[in-house]
Structure 1
Amino acid sequence: MKRLNNRALGILRGELQGDTRGDVGERVVRKLLLQELEGLARQEGPPLTELQLKRIIQNRYPAFKNPVIERAARANQPSKARTLAITLGGVVAGGVGLTGFVFLANLPYPMIRQPIAEHAPILLLPSFLSMDHNYREAIALVEQSDQLVNQATSAADLELGQEKVTQAQHHLDQLPVWFLGYYPQRYCTFFGCSWKFTHDEFEAARKSVGRMDVILFQERNAHDQLDEILEELNAARSQYRQATSHRGAEQALLDWQDAIDRLELIPRQTLAGELARTHLNAANRDFREARQSLNN
């Protein structure tokens, strides 16, 4: 900010240049005063007040009119709106700079984070909060997934279990693996940590998610096989009932037996395998009755 702004300088210059009083000596004084004022207009610093302007001008040229100095002093003071704008601009710029620095400090690079963790751990608060949130969510979702997947009683349980496994994997992916060995003691001092952020626990959760992914894959395959076989079984039954010849009925029974054999191959450890046992008992009973009826 200039010590004397252009508007104030214009007021003072107009008065000096319009003043024709006195002899050559007074004209020289007014010219030197104007040069001094122009020099102040080039200087950076706090704006000159009315008292400062009077001291500068009247010490050199006592005949200068006081009302003109007062008007120039008012014009030289920055407006409240401009002052507020400058202040807000500074605050915003400072905030942006701090935000940018915090963002850089929380990047997943040990060479950046480790020195900050030692000397200014509060700057890593966003990372600690994120780690805490993702850790708690991952552990809770792994436990929920385990109940749904390993103790499923219906396809709906498996479907919900798949959703929970996906969510757990997402939160595990958000955890900075390279940072697992670091225990943020200062953060835990202020906010309290009920967790131990260790490689072992992370690996256990990740392996649990991996095992459930395998189980869900097997369950999906078994369920698809069951749906396909049941469709073939129903088709064979319908073909047998609609057969118009002994040969057609025999072919239907062969397809029926083939479907029964395939039902027995569905893995028993899967939910689809348990359901297959129920269908298998009914299919065998109806098959024996159909075979006996055809032979008679």
Structure 2
Amino acid sequence: MKSWKRTYQNEKYLYVLALPGLLFFILFKYVPLWGLSLAFTEYSPYVGLLKSQWVGLKHFESFFSNPDFWMLLRNTLAISFLNIIFFFPMPIILALLLNEVRSTAYKKWVQTAIYLPHFLSWVVIVGICFLTISGSGIINKLIVDAGGKAIPFLTNADYFWGMLTLQTIWKESGWGTIVFLAALAGINPELYEAARMDGANRWRQTIHVTLPGIKTTIVILLILRLGQVLDTGFEHIYLMSSSAVTEVADVFDTYVYRVGIQSGRFSFATAVGIFKSIVGLILVVGANRLAKKFGEEGVY
């Protein structure tokens, strides 16, 4: 007790600084946890949560036995893993390229240009996409003028996952470079000097100095990204969806909105949310343990 009081007295201002963050997590992360009990009841807003009928795992059984479950799982995992394979490396590549730019003014201009899409809503991004690749869009007009046939980008299911991935890369890659640029700034310059003295060119310096210097940051962000593997972004997919591509566009988030929220099945929607959270937790724990086995720090 005395030790705790002494620590508090010495670090009281740090505790004060941490207080807003702690209150945020308590109010918006921990207090709402009581609402998870909705998944085990037949919730009715007319009688309230406490008086709603307890149904146990009924909603989970209904969800897993639904014939659409495997389609939803396939679409969600496909979109997520495409983002991990193609989107996740892009901020790293951009950060490495920006790190090689010697002109400060040009570097700031490029950073501003690639940060800008992050501040645009998905409504704007999808609107630009529609104007560009729709049947009467600029790209199809150029194809037709060149003697080809218009390509149905927006109504062909084969293009849907690719379009989502490209839009995510364009919108978020620049913003994602911030963390990696900060990590690059923390690398000891003496390591580069030693590498140059050993005859290493810029490519070898990147391979043997730069990438090892930011490896821990890459691993931590990848672990955190795996925890969101079932969160594919409702707004983005909902805006891009149409009846022509439902088979590849329907994911857990859109399914919950359509079947759970619009139909008033709040307990069912909560059950799906719990399933997503459990899968994310398992992936984070598993990836963290795997990272530690390979000598990395991990998230915890």
TM > 0.5 between the two? no
Structure number with greater Rg is: 1
Give the TM interval when normalised to the shorter protein.
under 0.3
Superposition TM-score, scaled by structure 2 size: 0.21
- Greater share of helix residues, 1 or 2? 1
